[in-house]
Amino acid sequence: MVKSTAPTLEDVARLAGVSTASISRALNEPDKVAATTRQKIEKAIDTLGYTPNFGGRALASSRTNTVGAVIPSMANAMFASGLQAFQEALAVDGVTLLVATTGFDSEQEFRQIKSLVGQGADGLMLIGNDRPDKTWDFIDKRRVAHVVSWCNVSREGQYFAGFDNARAAGDAAERAMTLGHRRIAVISGQTLSNDRAKARRDGVHAAVARFGDGARITHEVEAPYLIDDAAAAFDQIMAQAEKPTVVLCANDALAAGAMMRAREIGISLPDEMSFVGFDDVGLARVITPALTTVRVPQIEMGRAAAQFLLAKIGGETDLSSTTFETEFILRESLKPPLVP
Amino acid sequence: MVKSTAPTLEDVARLAGVSTASISRALNEPDKVAATTRQKIEKAIDTLGYTPNFGGRALASSRTNTVGAVIPSMANAMFASGLQAFQEALAVDGVTLLVATTGFDSEQEFRQIKSLVGQGADGLMLIGNDRPDKTWDFIDKRRVAHVVSWCNVSREGQYFAGFDNARAAGDAAERAMTLGHRRIAVISGQTLSNDRAKARRDGVHAAVARFGDGARITHEVEAPYLIDDAAAAFDQIMAQAEKPTVVLCANDALAAGAMMRAREIGISLPDEMSFVGFDDVGLARVITPALTTVRVPQIEMGRAAAQFLLAKIGGETDLSSTTFETEFILRESLKPPLVP
DNA sequence: GTGAAAGCGCTAACAA
DNA sequence: TTGTTAGCGCTTTCAC
């Protein structure tokens, strides 16, 4: 686009009868400019409809007031409200958000990170801590301020704002077992370069082993994060000799998909089969039976990640990671098994 | 952040033993560079981990390779997949996406638009065509390339990539009436500076009037775009003397919320009351009864908006608006009324 | 308190 | 095909 219409600092300077330096000061450190000149300047800015050129400013100050978020997908409600909170917290400080998605692919994540850094992002919010060395190398080499979220691990000297996936998933499994379930199926998310999915799966395994008393995993399937994949995963579970009484799912969308399939093949819910999701997105409450799930502290994480990043960009060094609590939400989809 | 570590074009030039211009060319018009030098350059870029500096590039070329999308909310699945498609189509051309949200508030939309333009966005994707004059004035004054979506109207000389809200909603109403429904309640979206909500409402009104045969709207409520508001709206509908046999909702989330409330107060679905949503987001298929709704061409719109914007930014003038088709999706939540 | 002037990293004529 | 060079709009010393 031809920005021929955009007035520059020089235009303002001419109109106000001062130097460009004064205007820059008036904009960035108003105290250092005399009140009278400041007024002249403000008037000139107003009549010209001037807005600072981003490129010029970025070039001269090497600050962009932009941070990037790289998330797996926008098409999933999972990250939406956290991202929203992240954006709102940034907006308070006049920082804008660049969003990029990876489609759960680490190559694409690398590309997106490079692109965002090239765009001048002052900082980066990343989901999870599991990515190839070359990606971390790039981040380290460029000294990109960053924070990881949705997990509670980070590399040496780096920080996270997240929660304990393993514990949350293990806790959910334990609740199911306490209600009497012993034959447990697991629909896991894709664990390849996805530490959250891995942690959730491992958390379930550990909880089952710890519980003992005959509790076991009848079958475990990995499914991408989509409703349709869940149906296939559920079919696979039901193709096993030993059928489960409860299905633990890596997220609510998978649970909803699996439940839909279960009903299609004539299983009555929740009596004949229990389901547990993860995330507590909006649909968990509205499906029937309402989905038992784990609430993820999305908003808290988004806000904390923003504040952390702003502080780090601002040069603060006294920072620390935060682990937020998840909450087990018991709804109708989880009932004691009819036959133990 | 201190970008002291970021290598510059000059660093690459020194290492590769060529001029900065050649590198710039290798990056932007690879065909114009000899294969051998291009290889040297690529190697140098790799070893240094070089990424072009955004500010410098923007300043020199007055192109940022950035476009902005201003949407009402990210926390609603409604816009998610369209935005995803938009982003993916942009990524093909190396353009990154800036996202800002308005919370359905036109003042905030204005602020966000100014911010994105200040950031140097080459173009803008906006939802709907209904906004205050001052917002349009700003866009016109700055000559911002833009496209509106989710609607099929635009200002003189401007373009849209959308669908016909009125016709789609009217069509859904007609289907309900054809099935025998005569007493119709409407849960509309907020119509204040929201032409999509207005059009959907008006489309229903027109269809009901056209149908005749005693068809009428028993009550109409406006509800914000949230599940919880739908419950209150439904209560209000049921507080009227004349009860409806079908409730037409401005979107799926409202429908899901209203259905949840209906079930709470002992109405059996879909026998005693039918529901129709709009958007066909993921939850429409998984709730019980599955929601009859209108599929919105999200992905098509997102992709078209991106291609349109890229073309416009690229200076093409032979452009035209596109209206995509919606599709009525009949599921279990709409049945003929028991008592006519 | 204010102005002059030197870049920031890149692109795009123009020359070679 | 490649190199030289003049800016793009802004911030930031350094004088005054």
Residue B3: list chain A partners with CB under 8 A: 62, 142-143
Is the shortest CB-to-strand distance from B52 to strand C under 7 Å?
Answer: yes
The helix (H) or strand (E) run that includes residue A101 is strand A96-101
The mean pLDDT value for A12-21 works out to 90
B206-229 burial, b at 16+ Cβ within 10 Å, e below that, comes to: bbbeebeeebebbbbbbbebbbeb
Give the Cα separation of A29 and B70 in Å (integer).
30
Pick A203 or B313 by higher pLDDT: A203
pLDDT above 90: percentage of residues in chain A: 55
The mean pLDDT value for B310-315 works out to 86
**Residue contact B144–A76, C-beta within 8 A:** no
Tokens in use for A211? 């519980």
Give the Cα separation of A243 and A229 in Å (integer).
19
The helix (H) or strand (E) run that includes residue B71 is strand B66-71
pLDDT at B98 over 70: yes
The helix (H) or strand (E) run that includes residue A99 is strand A96-101
Per-residue confidence band for A228, with pLDDT thresholds at 50, 70 and 90: confident
DSSP secondary-structure letter at B30?
A: G
Residues 6+ apart with CB under 8 A from A65: A94, A95, A96, A122
From the CA of A333 to the C1' of D3: give the distance in Å. Answer: 71
pLDDT at A118 over 80: no
Per-residue confidence band for B306, with pLDDT thresholds at 50, 70 and 90: very high
The helix (H) or strand (E) run that includes residue B304 is helix B298-313
Residue B58: list chain A partners with CB under 8 A: 54-55, 58
Q: Are B94 and B52 in contact (CB under 8 A)?
A: no
For residue A292, the cross-strand partners are A276
Give chain C positions with protein CB within 7 A.
Answer: 1-5, 7-13
pLDDT of residue A35: 87
From the CA of B32 to the C1' of C15: give the distance in Å. Answer: 17
Q: Provide the shortest C-alpha distance from residue A312 to chain B (in Å).
A: 8
Whether B28 contacts chain A with CB within 8 A:
no
Summarised one tens digit per residue, pLDDT across range B257-286 is 999 999 999 999 999 999 999 999 888 988
Task: Report helix, strand or coil for B124.
Answer: strand
pLDDT of residue A240: 95
Burial (CB < 10 A; 0-12, 13-18, 19+), residue A340, is: exposed
Whether B32 contacts chain A with CB within 8 A:
no
Give the Cα separation of A90 and B76 in Å (integer).
20
**Residue contact A101–B87, C-beta within 8 A:** yes
From the CA of A56 to the C1' of D8: give the distance in Å. Answer: 8
Task: Report helix, strand or coil for A312.
Answer: helix
DSSP string, B238-283: HTSSSPPSEEEESSHHHHHHHHHHHHHTT--TTTT-EEE-SB--TH
Summarised one tens digit per residue, pLDDT across range A21-33 is 999 899 888 888 8
pLDDT of residue A2: 34
Instruction: For strands A327-329 and A293-295, give the pairing.
Output: antiparallel
Walk across the sheet containing B216-222 and list its strands: B216-222, B183-188, B246-249, B274-276
DSSP string, A41-97: HHHHHHHHT----HHHHHHHHS--SEEEEEES-SSSHHHHHHHHHHHHHHHHTT-EE
Give the Cα separation of A237 and A255 in Å (integer).
13
Per-residue confidence band for B93, with pLDDT thresholds at 50, 70 and 90: confident
The mean pLDDT value for B28-48 works out to 87
Tracing tokens 């003397």 back to the chain, one arrives at B241
DSSP string, B177-210: HHTT--EEEEEE---TT-HHHHHHHHHHHHHHHH
Q: Provide the shortest C-alpha distance from residue A206 to chain B (in Å).
A: 31
pLDDT at A156 over 70: yes
The mean pLDDT value for B53-63 works out to 85
Instruction: For strands B327-329 and B293-295, give the pairing.
Output: antiparallel
Give the Cα separation of A38 and A27 in Å (integer).
9
Whether B338 contacts chain A with CB within 8 A:
no
Query: Considering only CA atoms, which of B321, B300, B297 is closest in space to residue B311?
Result: B321
Summarised one tens digit per residue, pLDDT across range A275-304 is 999 999 888 988 889 999 999 999 999 999
Whether B284 contacts chain A with CB within 8 A:
no
Give the Cα separation of A91 and B321 in Å (integer).
33
Position B122, amino acid: D
The mean pLDDT value for B295-318 works out to 92
Least confident of A115-124, B178-187, B232-241, B287-296: A115-124
User: Which protein residue has its CA closest to C1' of D11?
Assistant: A60
pLDDT of residue B73: 84
Mean pLDDT of chain A: 90
Distance of CA B262 to the CA centre of its chain: 29
Domains of chain A as residue ranges with CATH: 9-52 (1.10.260.40), 66-164+298-325 (3.40.50.2300), 165-295 (3.40.50.2300)
Summarised one tens digit per residue, pLDDT across range A82-102 is 988 998 899 888 788 888 888
Whether A339 contacts chain B with CB within 8 A:
no
Per-residue confidence band for A135, with pLDDT thresholds at 50, 70 and 90: very high
Give the Cα separation of A64 and B83 in Å (integer).
24
pLDDT of residue B4: 43
Query: Considering only CA atoms, which of B203, B244, B216 is closest in space to residue B328?
Result: B203
Whether B317 contacts chain A with CB within 8 A:
no
pLDDT at A3 over 60: no
Residue B87: list chain A partners with CB under 8 A: 74, 99-101
Whether A226 contacts chain B with CB within 8 A:
no
**Residue contact A122–B283, C-beta within 8 A:** no
**Residue contact B98–A101, C-beta within 8 A:** no
Whether B227 contacts chain A with CB within 8 A:
yes
**Helix, strand counts (H, E) of chain A:** 13, 12
Which A residues 174-193 touch B at CB under 8 Å?
none
Tokens in use for A11? 């235009």
The mean pLDDT value for B302-310 works out to 95
Per-residue confidence band for B2, with pLDDT thresholds at 50, 70 and 90: very low
User: Which protein residue has its CA closest to C1' of D7?
Assistant: B60
Residues 6+ apart with CB under 8 A from B203: B165, B166, B167, B168, B169, B170, B171, B173
**Max CA distance (Å), chain A:** 87
Nearest chain A residue to B227, by CA: A282
Whether A62 contacts chain B with CB within 8 A:
yes
From the CA of A29 to the C1' of C1: give the distance in Å. Answer: 13
- The segment with the largest mean pLDDT, out of A119-133, B57-71, B166-180, is B166-180
What is the Cα gyration radius of chain A? 25
Mean pLDDT of chain B: 90
Is the shortest CB-to-strand distance from B282 to strand C under 7 Å?
Answer: no
Nearest chain B residue to A260, by CA: B286
Residue B94: list chain A partners with CB under 8 A: 115
Give the Cα separation of B25 and A246 in Å (integer).
60
- Which residue in A55, A77, A259 is closest to B58 by CB distance? A55
From the CA of A53 to the C1' of D15: give the distance in Å. Answer: 28
